[in-house]
């Protein structure tokens, strides 16, 4: 097979182009009616009071954290965050001027561990920032109990979990604020973009103000709070609106891709699939496997023009966060990070190509076991 098989690339059909042309023809390309319409659709989709678009998932997190800080008057405080996540989760906390405190994850679902959270709570802890690990839910009941007992808020990183649900609702909609990303390897992508959702009117107003230099709506001449420019624009909203029309098809594609991998690779003892609760509505944004000889398998696939991706390094390994401990302090995050591989999936990958990837994986284990 000649084509390179890459990990999670976006595909653009004619629909996006048609809507983008409408925006260009209108002459208004900043944040306007297309963005308003998209926010309305997102609010309905998530069944939340407010959805706000911004420039990236990182900016969405920043807005949620900053609004929480300004409303509660927080200073010199800590936010608990999983050690295994994309570094943006921790960086957004620093950007807002708070201190991220790393917490180990649960071994089976890869999300922040409630038991470990309880060990890290101090008088300075004001929030928890759980990350829905690529479509998997964290322990909503336990975290709700902990935040109630300790007067904390939850700000959710659901950057890679748009469309994923449990029987309690959409991931990203359990906390005070939830954040999604629209960056290139997400279920819906316009290159760069982010969504903030909240059911709290005060948070909504504050986020809107911070996002636009301190004003709530265009035409308001007095800027009541400090603010930035983290506004979205109608060109990108047009792309998202077009893709959002077939969100269900997109979810099905990701689910079917992972189901095919699970079926094809079920007889390889060196590979295991961490559980996804399909029956509750969880959607696997990436296909993560735990695997022996991860790096050698990756190399073998690359030689065959197949490009999977190794899991992130834990946050504690990155220089800005190295003062928080070593692998022995975060055993689960370290173990998963070292053994987890993301196989090629996404809207640009066909089931036929996945069949080919599976053949090459089987070939690798046959070779090393012979």
Q: How far apart are CA 115 and CA 274, in angstroms?
A: 20
DSSP string, 241-259: HHHHTTHHHHHHHHHHHHH
**86 binds ligand PLP, rule: CB under 6 A:** yes
Q: Is 183 in the site for ligand PLP (CB under 6 A)?
A: yes
Tokens of 248: 């269900």
Q: Total binding residues for ligand PLP by CB under 6 A?
A: 14
* Helix, strand, coil percent content, the chain, rounded in steps of 5: 45, 15, 40
* Closest by Cα among 60, 90, 61, 63 to 78: 90
Residue 353 interacting with ligand PLP (CB under 6 A): no
For position 234 contacting ligand PLP by CB under 6 A, the verdict is: no
User: Does 58 contact ligand PLP by CB under 6 A?
Assistant: yes
Task: Report DSSP state, residue 209.
Answer: H
Q: Which residue is nearest to ligand PLP (CB)?
A: 57
Q: Verify binding: residue 332, ligand PLP, rule CB under 6 A.
A: no
DSSP conformational letter for 278: G
What is the Cα–Cα distance from 308 to 72, expressed in whole angstroms?
A: 43
> Which range in 20-28, 82-90, 215-223, 298-306 contacts ligand PLP by CB under 6 A?
82-90
Nearer to ligand PLP (CB atom), residue 183 or residue 257: 183
Among 8, 56, 304, 332, the residue binding ligand PLP under the rule CB under 6 A is 56
CB of residue 200 to ligand PLP, shortest distance in Å: 21
**Per-residue binding letters, 8-47, with ligand PLP (x by CB under 6 A):** ----------------------------------------
SS3 state of residue 152: coil
Q: Is 196 in the site for ligand PLP (CB under 6 A)?
A: no
Q: Max CA-CA distance within the chain?
A: 74
Contact 234, 228 (CB under 8 A): no
Stretch that binds ligand PLP, among 106-114, 122-130, 154-162, 248-256 (CB under 6 A): 154-162
DSSP for residue 285: S
CB atoms within 10 A of CB 293: 14
Q: Which of 112, 131, 254, 340 binds ligand PLP (CB under 6 A)?
A: 131
**Which residue's CB is nearer to ligand PLP, number 237 or number 304?**
237
Q: Which two tokens stand for residue 138?
A: 């964290």
Binding site for ligand PLP (CB under 6 A): 56-58, 85-86, 88-89, 131, 157, 159-160, 181, 183, 194
């Amino acid at each position: 097979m000649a084509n390179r098989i890459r990990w999670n690339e976006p595909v653009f059909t004619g629909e996006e182009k048609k809507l983008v042309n409408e925006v260009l023809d209108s002459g208004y390309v900043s944040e306007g009616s297309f963005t308003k319409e998209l926010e309305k659709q997102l609010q309905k989709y998530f069944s939340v009071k407010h959805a706000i678009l911004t420039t990236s998932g990182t900016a969405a997190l920043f807005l949620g954290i900053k609004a929480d800080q300004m409303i509660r008057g927080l200073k010199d405080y800590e936010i608990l965050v999983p050690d295994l996540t994309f570094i943006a989760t921790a960086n957004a906390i620093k950007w807002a001027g708070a201190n991220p405190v790393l917490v180990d994850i649960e071994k089976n679902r890869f999300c922040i561990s409630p038991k470990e959270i309880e060990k890290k709570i101090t008088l300075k802890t004001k929030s928890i920032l759980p990350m829905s690990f690529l479509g998997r839910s964290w322990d909503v009941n336990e975290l709700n109990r902990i935040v109630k007992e300790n007067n904390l808020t939850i700000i959710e990183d659901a950057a890679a979990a748009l469309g994923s649900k449990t029987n309690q609702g959409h991931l990203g909609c359990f906390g005070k604020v939830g954040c999604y990303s629209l960056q290139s390897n997400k279920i819906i992508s316009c290159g760069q973009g982010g969504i903030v959702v909240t059911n709290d009117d005060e948070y909504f107003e504050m986020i809107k103000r911070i996002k636009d230099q301190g004003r709530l709506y265009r035409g308001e001449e007095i800027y009541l709070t400090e603010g930035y420019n983290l506004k979205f624009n109608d060109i990108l909203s047009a792309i998202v609106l077009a893709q959002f029309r077939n969100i269900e098809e997109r979810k099905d594609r990701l689910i079917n891709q992972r189901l095919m991998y699970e079926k094809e690779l079920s007889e390889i003892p060196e590979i295991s699939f961490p559980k996804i609760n399909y029956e509750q509505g969880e959607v696997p944004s990436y296909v993560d496997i735990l695997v022996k000889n991860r790096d050698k398998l990756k190399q073998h696939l690359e030689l065959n023009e197949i490009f999977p991706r190794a899991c992130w390094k834990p946050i504690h390994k990155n220089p800005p966060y190295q003062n928080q401990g070593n692998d022995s302090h975060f055993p689960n995050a370290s173990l998963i990070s070292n053994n987890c591989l993301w196989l090629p999936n996404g809207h640009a990958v066909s089931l036929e190509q996945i069949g080919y990837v599976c053949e090459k994986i089987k070939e690798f284990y046959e070779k090393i076991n012979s």
